[in-house]
Structure 1
């Protein structure tokens, strides 16, 4: 399942908790678009703001409504005890895989991160994706640590942040990591603006935040790269530069993605856990224009 487009939907919230009807609509939209897999409870899925019970419910809903589309469930938490419980809940829901970020309050050291993955993989019966997201976890994986963790049982993919902007350097970066990990472990690009660079450099999967709301557009990019048409994949990503600019101006993709889902009527407004807020004002007006001009919907 760790190839192609893995689309990460929002977990929309309302005054009562999870907006289950809206979440199911997002899942069914991804199934209809034929995303290769669905990743729930990543950063776009607001996992850090939900209780263990709420996260178990999200996993259940996703699997129940995804049909034959594989579902990967995020299990990151501050304590190993909670990570293990989340892993158990995800497996009981029928998830095809789990994704683990080394979440912390006290900054973790490499030995602690390895110990976390060692403890978790010892208990797993489904594959695991290593979630490398220093922007939120404040932990920077070395390639050497990735290499050691990738040899643990059940590890089958690594979700890396953006690659260098120069295509040749991007290929070298992916090649350096590839040389340290087993051949069955795929490398996935995240950071949506880096999609073409990563896929063209040899990443096998795109873990896409915006793909959870605009799957058809992001599938077109993925399929071009998979077909070996690097120029077309690059063109399609560069066409979305105004969207990437909005991400950069608003602290990343989440607030923009939430606003896009609200504008399309996929979720009610507001849909984010307070104190988070979807973009509004001029940024929201620009986004509405971009959705139309770029034919994202």
Structure 2
């Protein structure tokens, strides 16, 4: 389906070993079921991914922030990507490769490529503060080595590094860098300004994607190319309804407002804590959080249960 104000981007960036990936559209990001020692339950992960693939997602994201990528060893991350690719079938898989050390990023990139991932999600993970020069060097090295498209992951809340519009523009000059996953701006005016600026400064096939489900009614109205969605990983029909309404601002706002209680829980507690409980309530769990992250209290889970009860059947 075309966006209201821009032709569907090419985004299948040639020279990839598996035929490229459409980085635009609706991408569902799943959590990663694991035990207390960080061993991935690949059977459970496969069932979650297969459910999303059957729901008609444009792509599936694995090892994003809600997928707990920073809590997993290289071995477990490789197992997770392989299981996701197998379960996704013909649906493209976007695999997180972020790490503190550039050498580890390369390990994760090579594992994702071997597993058949269609694209790599690259976050500039930091412990010591990173400079723009540091992140530029990281992206330069990964872009030079990658055989699959790269999506820049701009997530200041977890990485503690903000990709400015100028930096995104510079990094997008790499042919191998095909998209950015930005946090959703708080207002429509801010979203319009950012998208207009990035669109004017990047090539036509560069995909402007957004995450931050609690504010996701904003970027689609401004002409975003993609929604990289956590809620789609648990409630795919809700996400598809919202994304399908992107050309109708009133309908989009109405749909979003109907689930204000859910978005409030996302804002207050974060997807990594909320989504496991959604899956439990849908009988798609268990999905324990990676320690030391603690689950929500029983009263918060009750609020979440009530919010789900007000929705239509999400399956």
Shared fold per TM-score greater than 0.5: yes
- Tell me if structure 2 keeps the 8 A contact 1:143–1:180: no
CA distance in 2 between partners of 1:295 and 1:44 (Å) = 24
CA distance in 1 between partners of 2:304 and 2:186 (Å) = 27
1:159 equivalenced with 2:166 (yes/no): no
Counterpart residue number, 1:92: 114
Counterpart residue number, 1:60: 82
Report the secondary structure of 2:129's partner residue.
coil
Deviation at 1:262, TM superposition (A): 1.5
1:5 equivalenced with 2:21 (yes/no): no
- Tell me if structure 2 keeps the 8 A contact 1:217–1:296: no
CA displacement, residues 88-116 of structure 1 (integer Å, 9 cap, x when unaligned): 00001011100000001111000000000
Report the secondary structure of 2:216's partner residue.
helix
Counterpart residue number, 2:272: 254
Counterpart residue number, 1:286: 303
- Tell me if structure 2 keeps the 8 A contact 1:132–1:161: yes
CA distance in 2 between partners of 1:115 and 1:296 (Å) = 47
CA distance in 1 between partners of 2:245 and 2:307 (Å) = 22
- Tell me if structure 2 keeps the 8 A contact 1:107–1:138: yes
Q: 2:256 aligns with which of 194, 213, 237?
A: 237
CA distance in 2 between partners of 1:48 and 1:296 (Å) = 33
Deviation at 1:178, TM superposition (A): 1.6
1:197 equivalenced with 2:214 (yes/no): no
Report the secondary structure of 1:98's partner residue.
strand
CA distance in 2 between partners of 1:288 and 1:60 (Å) = 32
CA displacement, residues 139-159 of structure 1 (integer Å, 9 cap, x when unaligned): 111111111100013111010
CA distance in 1 between partners of 2:199 and 2:214 (Å) = 22
Counterpart residue number, 1:31: 53
TM-score (norm 1): 0.95
1:178 equivalenced with 2:195 (yes/no): no
Report the secondary structure of 2:201's partner residue.
coil
Report the secondary structure of 2:66's partner residue.
coil
CA distance in 2 between partners of 1:126 and 1:230 (Å) = 34
CA RMSD, 1 decimal = 1.2
Deviation at 1:15, TM superposition (A): 4.2
CA distance in 2 between partners of 1:171 and 1:105 (Å) = 32
1:128 equivalenced with 2:150 (yes/no): yes
Q: Which runs of 5+ in 1 are unaligned?
A: none
- Tell me if structure 1 keeps the 8 A contact 2:28–2:229: yes
Deviation at 1:211, TM superposition (A): 1.0
Counterpart residue number, 1:104: 126
Q: How many residue pairs end up in the alignment?
A: 292
CA distance in 2 between partners of 1:98 and 1:169 (Å) = 27
Shift of the 243–127 alpha-carbon distance from structure 1 to 2, 3 Å rule, reads same
Dislocated runs of 4+, deviation >6 Å = none
